[in-house]
Amino acid sequence: MASYGETFHQLRVGKGLTLKELADEQASVSFLSKFEQGQSKISVDRLMHLLKKMNVTADEYFFLQHDRYLNSPMPVEWREMGAANALTDLTNIFLISSGLAMRHQWKKLYARLDVLKENAKKFPTVNNVLGYDYGRMMLANHTGKSIEHASDHAVKYLKQIDDWGIYEILVLESFLTAMPLADVELFTNIAERKLTANESIMYVAGMHRGFLVSSFAYFMSLDQFVLANETLSKMEALHKKRDGRDLTANFAMTILWCEGWLKYRVDDKALGRSKMNDATTMMRLCKEDRMFRIYDDFTAEIVSAPNDHDFHYGTVIS
């Protein structure tokens, strides 16, 4: 069976386009060449972007890819790529499940889980499979039961993609709490490098903030203070790169609060608590009411416990 890159090459040549003519800030000549030769994989949103530039629909691409190979099934990780709104669909799947959990509507969540399981069985797209896994995680948080391998599909998918986009960051942030430490460390570094290098993605929906704050909290919950400090440094470095497109006041307050949390656990409880209180005071004065309530509750939870092993940080925001 021809690779996806070979099919892409056939379409590009058929359109009379050179690699240089098709390359842009999202895909260099070198990257395109490696993809066409099967030496690199490509993310969902990047492929959709390139097909659009060639005036080729996803249906046309996959028809050419698979019409000649009817006996060769499409790999599960690519099945939903025919839909340009894969990111929107995955976001909606996650939001519905998390919304039911936040409102403690457990019966509805159990019923939804049955639907998600059936969807994943009948149509094993990445979105459906991850949607079912995410629903299981929400119920596990409620029951207090751990779920083995809850993040296996997410980890497998992320390790297959060389060129990350917003879709991959969403997957990382959603499943981070269930991932092994080594994978979180690996993916945090990958995501930080990719988003720093691609400002057009970095500024979308504060993606450069959320996953780092979640990673920091994850490391703190495991007493991995060195990794937490390294992640805090990444947060501070990205904050310094801000410009007029990025409103970072909330992020600055989050960084201050995280500095206090780390300080509180490592070497100076008084100074650490002072920094956390300063951050929450700023949130209140800036009328960031929801943010204030969340981090004020976090502060109370942290100072009342000897460690953060049971810290529930699924709602950290910045």
Domains and CATH numbers, the chain: 4-74 (1.10.260.40)
Residue 248 pLDDT grade (very low, low, confident, very high; cuts 50, 70, 90): low
Q: What is the pLDDT of residue 207?
A: 53
Residue 278 CB neighbour total at 10 angstroms? 15
What stretches of 222-288 show up as alpha helix (H) in DSSP? 225-240, 249-266, 269-285
Instruction: Give the whole-number percent of the chain exceeding pLDDT 70.
Output: 81
Q: What is the mean pLDDT of residues 157-173?
A: 81
Q: What is the pLDDT of residue 242?
A: 60
Q: How far apart are the first and last CA of the chain?
A: 46
Running DSSP on this structure, what letter comes out for residue 211?
Answer: H
- E strands, the chain, in order: none
Q: What is the mean pLDDT of residues 89-93?
A: 82
For residues 29 and 23, the answer to whether their CB atoms sit within 8 Å is yes
pLDDT at residue 116 tops 80:
yes
- Reported as a single tens digit per residue, the pLDDT across 15-33 is 788 999 999 988 899 999 9
Q: How far is 141 from 89, CA to CA, in rounded Å?
A: 23
- Reported as a single tens digit per residue, the pLDDT across 217-232 is 999 999 999 999 999 9
% helix, strand, coil for the chain, step of 5 = 70, 0, 30
Q: How many CA atoms lie within 13 A of 274 on its CB side?
A: 4
Q: What is the mean pLDDT of residues 310-317?
A: 60
Residue 109 pLDDT grade (very low, low, confident, very high; cuts 50, 70, 90): very high
pLDDT at residue 300 tops 60:
yes
- Reported as a single tens digit per residue, the pLDDT across 274-289 is 999 999 999 999 888 8
Q: How far is 150 from 227, CA to CA, in rounded Å?
A: 23
For residues 147 and 137, the answer to whether their CB atoms sit within 8 Å is yes
Residue 68 pLDDT grade (very low, low, confident, very high; cuts 50, 70, 90): very low
Tell me what the pLDDT averaged over the chain comes to.
Answer: 80
Residue 209 pLDDT grade (very low, low, confident, very high; cuts 50, 70, 90): low
Q: What is this structure's pTM?
A: 0.66
3-state secondary structure of 234: helix
Q: How far is 212 from 206, CA to CA, in rounded Å?
A: 11
